[in-house]
């Protein structure tokens, strides 16, 4: 979800106003995904690299995240959305961690769209942690190195139990994956749009899905 800062800069507004406006796009896209029966939607909300931003911006982002988690419970339940989160959740402020647990619990019985927020997330970090867990199982005699395959690795990722994504949408025209779901997007289709995230509403989302439906996915075959 890229482009919040540039959206604000174009309008002479503080960067944080772009993040606030971006929350409206989150709401629209989640509603749109639910309306057409998409089962899984993962939003890259805060990366491990984002901790390097100015403390004032990070603190404000955490306040907005806390407010979003509280405010959206009714909206999520109304639309039958189940919330999940992946990443180094323990690095989030304690009050955010607690509210995240509450919101996840409050939506746990919903069986429509599963919305996953990637928070304090990094694809390389995810793979490193998976390797560490696998190494520990080998050291404890619970796993034979010869048994390691794609399924074993996938089982140790943050996203275990979730299907790999079919489509990766990148807003603001950036041509990079920015350390997002590096293992999982091996065969995902990419749609790159110049639209900045705060301007990416339901119509833009459906446009990206229409482009995806025109692709012929061969998974390395013919």
Which residues participate in catalysis according to the annotation?
A: 2, 50
Strand partners, 42: 116
Taking the C-alpha atoms of residue 47 and residue 159, their distance in angstroms, rounded to an integer, is: 16
Q: 53: how many CB neighbours lie within 10 A of its CB?
A: 15
Straight-line distance from the first to the last Cα atom of the chain, in angstroms, rounded to the nearest whole number: 33
For the chain, counts of helices (H) and of strands (E)? 8, 5
Taking the C-alpha atoms of residue 2 and residue 177, their distance in angstroms, rounded to an integer, is: 11
């Amino acid at each position: 979800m890229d482009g919040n800062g540039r959206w604000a800069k174009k309008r002479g507004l503080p960067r944080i106003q772009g993040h606030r406006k971006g929350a409206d796009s989150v709401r629209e896209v989640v509603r749109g995904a639910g309306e057409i029966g998409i089962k899984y939607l993962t939003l890259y909300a805060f990366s491990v690299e984002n901790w390097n931003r100015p403390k004032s911006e990070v603190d404000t982002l955490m306040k907005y995240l806390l407010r979003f988690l509280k405010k959206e419970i009714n909206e999520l339940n109304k639309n039958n959305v189940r919330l999940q989160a992946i990443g180094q959740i323990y690095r989030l402020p304690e009050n955010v961690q607690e509210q995240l647990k509450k919101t996840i619990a409050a939506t746990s019985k919903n069986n429509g769209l599963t919305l996953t927020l990637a928070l304090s997330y990094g694809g390389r970090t995810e793979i490193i942690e998976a390797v560490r867990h696998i190494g520990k199982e080998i050291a404890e005699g619970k796993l034979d190195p010869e048994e390691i395959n794609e399924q074993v690795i996938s089982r140790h990722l943050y996203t275990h139990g979730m299907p790999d994504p079919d489509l990766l949408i990148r807003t603001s025209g950036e041509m990079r994956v920015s350390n997002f779901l590096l293992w999982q997007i091996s065969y995902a289709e990419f749609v790159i749009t110049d639209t900045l995230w705060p301007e990416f509403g339901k119509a833009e989302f459906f446009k990206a899905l229409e482009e995806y439906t025109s692709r012929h996915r061969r998974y390395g075959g013919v």
